[in-house]
Amino acid sequence: MVRGGRGRGMPGRGGMGRPPFNRPRVMMLRPPFDLILAEPAFPRCKPAPDDTALTQALLKRHAELCPTPGEQAAVLSLVTKLQTVLDNLVVAPGDFAACQLEEVRQVGSYKKGTMMAGKNVADIVVIMKTLPTKEAVEGLSNKVNEEVNKLMRAEGLGNVSSACHERGFTVTAASSAVRVLVTTLHHNLRKLEPEVHLEYKVISSHLAAIRHSRWFEENAHHSSIKVLIRLLRDMCARHSGLEPLTPWMIDLLAHHCIMNNPARQVLPINVAFRRALSLLAGGLFLPGCAGLPDPCEAAHARAHTALDLPAQDHAAATAQTLLRVVARGGHRYVLGLQAFEGGKDISTEITVWDGVVVSPLAPAYHETPEPMDTDDKEEDGAQDGVAA
């Protein structure tokens, strides 16, 4: 029978009289090629190359990114005082009536142990029993500022200052700061009003930060994961194409690259770093890719869906450029250990490595404007043709 002819099953029309458009379309998410997971199917033909230079560069850069003992002590001192004041307001608020506090949790890079040098900022989430009005946040800020200053004067230290913002308020000392992020109980979320309370997205993100910290403490406590997180955050901060990646995406990527392998063993830092760049370059955060499942959200949620389409495209293109530079021995420039001549950004400029030209990729995603309604124009054109 001729393919597509009028046979018994009517294959040209969907078979058995069913139109093909009635069949549901299933979205198939595919993972990128991962050499670590596919290694049993692709055994090596020769020994792995010596990667000592990359390993030493990674460890050297990580040592530069780690905060000094003085920075850690300054943040710890301020966090301890703030935690004491807020815990007292939870247990015994006394005459403080601006709001009622339910719980206080440390979150963010300080809690996870991934704080960067020069960024002496810690995060604390305050869960309110009452609704988080802007007046309540300001009242809590003033009360915390007053109580912390009492503790500072008792130790003979300088005063702190407090400033409110859209997420809560920040307490700043001489060499450290703590962001107090305000949220509320889950059953209060539907009662929020944009004109009176903090934004719904902000409140929800603070609740998510608590879940992220809890998951990290249980699953990503290995030191190699924290080393890779610092390196990836530093690389993302220096290259504009990777800048949209959120800290949570970087945390999940680092955990995946270190721990997810057939042997279930911790991978060396040089292998994990190459793997992270390879996965990003292979489209891990592109549309249609399985990506990384978000363990703190509902089923089938993917972490990279928070990025818009241009950001996903730019991140993949930047990772491909950086991966080619690393393959040609330019890892010191990618890690920031050495600046490129002329101050060029190697992810956006054409560079040459041992006679090999590495040029940035052009964007693959282009926003197309919505088509305009041309019915009237066609009718006008037809009338003009008849008249002519």
- Final residue before a domain boundary, out of 221, 251, 270: 221
pLDDT of residue 340: 79
pLDDT of residue 28: 76
Cβ neighbour number for residue 246 with a 10 Å cutoff: 13
How far, in Å, CA of 237 to CA of 214, rounded? 25
Could you report the per-residue pLDDT of 67-108, keeping only the tens digit for each?
999 999 999 999 999 999 999 999 998 888 889 999 999 999
pLDDT of residue 338: 87
Q: Is 231 left (phi over 0), alpha (psi -120 to 50) or beta?
A: alpha
Query: Quick check: is 344 in a domain?
Result: yes
**Burial (CB count <10 Å: 0-12, 13-18, 19+), residue 155:** exposed
Q: How many domains does the chain have?
A: 2
| Residue 182: strand pairing partners | 126
State whether 210 and 249 are in the same domain.
Answer: no
State whether 85 and 205 are in the same domain.
Answer: yes
State whether 217 and 250 are in the same domain.
Answer: no
Please determine, for residue 22, whether its predicted confidence score (pLDDT) is greater than 90.
Answer: no
Segment holding 379, helix H or strand E: helix 375-387
Please determine, for residue 370, whether its predicted confidence score (pLDDT) is greater than 70.
Answer: no
What residues make up the domain containing 211? 67-221
Could you report the per-residue pLDDT of 301-336, keeping only the tens digit for each?
888 888 999 999 999 999 999 999 999 989 999 999
Query: Quick check: is 31 in a domain?
Result: no
Band of the pLDDT at 16, cuts 50, 70, 90? low
Query: Quick check: is 357 in a domain?
Result: yes
State whether 297 and 212 are in the same domain.
Answer: no
Please determine, for residue 350, whether its predicted confidence score (pLDDT) is greater than 70.
Answer: yes
Mean pLDDT score, 247-268? 93
Helix (H, G, I), strand (E, B) or coil at 336: coil
Contact, 104 vs 125, CB < 8 A? yes
Please determine, for residue 369, whether its predicted confidence score (pLDDT) is greater than 80.
Answer: no
State whether 77 and 209 are in the same domain.
Answer: yes
Question: What does the CA dihedral 82, 88, 91, 94 come to, rounded to 10 degrees?
Answer: -130
Of 196-210, 255-269, 293-307, 363-377, the one with minimum mean pLDDT is 363-377
Calculate the average pLDDT of the chain.
87
**The model's pTM:** 0.85
Segment holding 43, helix H or strand E: none
Of 99-108, 143-152, 318-327, 377-386, the one with minimum mean pLDDT is 377-386
Between 34 and 18, whose confidence is greater?
Answer: 34
- Final residue before a domain boundary, out of 193, 221, 249: 221
Please determine, for residue 48, whether its predicted confidence score (pLDDT) is greater than 90.
Answer: no
Sequence-distant (≥ 6) Cβ neighbours of residue 350 within 8 angstroms:
357, 358, 359, 360
Query: Quick check: is 274 in a domain?
Result: yes
Contact, 280 vs 273, CB < 8 A? no
Q: Percentage of residues in the chain with pLDDT exceeding 70?
A: 88
Please determine, for residue 198, whether its predicted confidence score (pLDDT) is greater than 80.
Answer: yes
Please determine, for residue 17, whether its predicted confidence score (pLDDT) is greater than 60.
Answer: no
Band of the pLDDT at 345, cuts 50, 70, 90? confident
What phi, psi does 181 have (nearest 5°)?
A: -95, 125
Please determine, for residue 152, whether its predicted confidence score (pLDDT) is greater than 70.
Answer: yes
How far, in Å, CA of 255 to CA of 263, rounded? 15
Query: Quick check: is 45 in a domain?
Result: no
State whether 77 and 163 are in the same domain.
Answer: yes
Please determine, for residue 284, whether its predicted confidence score (pLDDT) is greater than 90.
Answer: yes
Q: What is the largest CA-CA distance in the chain?
A: 95
State whether 103 and 159 are in the same domain.
Answer: yes
Cα separation of the two ends of the chain: 51
- Final residue before a domain boundary, out of 221, 256, 282: 221
For residue 96, what is the domain's CATH number?
Answer: 3.30.460.10
Sequence-distant (≥ 6) Cβ neighbours of residue 168 within 8 angstroms:
126, 137, 141, 179, 180, 181, 182, 198
Please determine, for residue 197, whether its predicted confidence score (pLDDT) is greater than 70.
Answer: yes
Q: Percentage of residues in the chain with pLDDT exceeding 90?
A: 61
What phi, psi does 133 have (nearest 5°)?
A: -75, 160
| Helix (H), strand (E) counts: the chain | 11, 7
What phi, psi does 351 have (nearest 5°)?
A: -130, 160
Band of the pLDDT at 1, cuts 50, 70, 90? very low
Sequence-distant (≥ 6) Cβ neighbours of residue 227 within 8 angstroms:
58, 59, 62, 269
Please determine, for residue 204, whether its predicted confidence score (pLDDT) is greater than 50.
Answer: yes
Band of the pLDDT at 13, cuts 50, 70, 90? very low
Query: Quick check: is 83 in a domain?
Result: yes
How far, in Å, CA of 340 to CA of 349, rounded? 11
State whether 206 and 309 are in the same domain.
Answer: no
State whether 197 and 81 are in the same domain.
Answer: yes
Query: Quick check: is 7 in a domain?
Result: no
State whether 172 and 213 are in the same domain.
Answer: yes
Please determine, for residue 116, whether its predicted confidence score (pLDDT) is greater than 60.
Answer: yes
State whether 237 and 208 are in the same domain.
Answer: no
Query: Quick check: is 388 in a domain?
Result: no
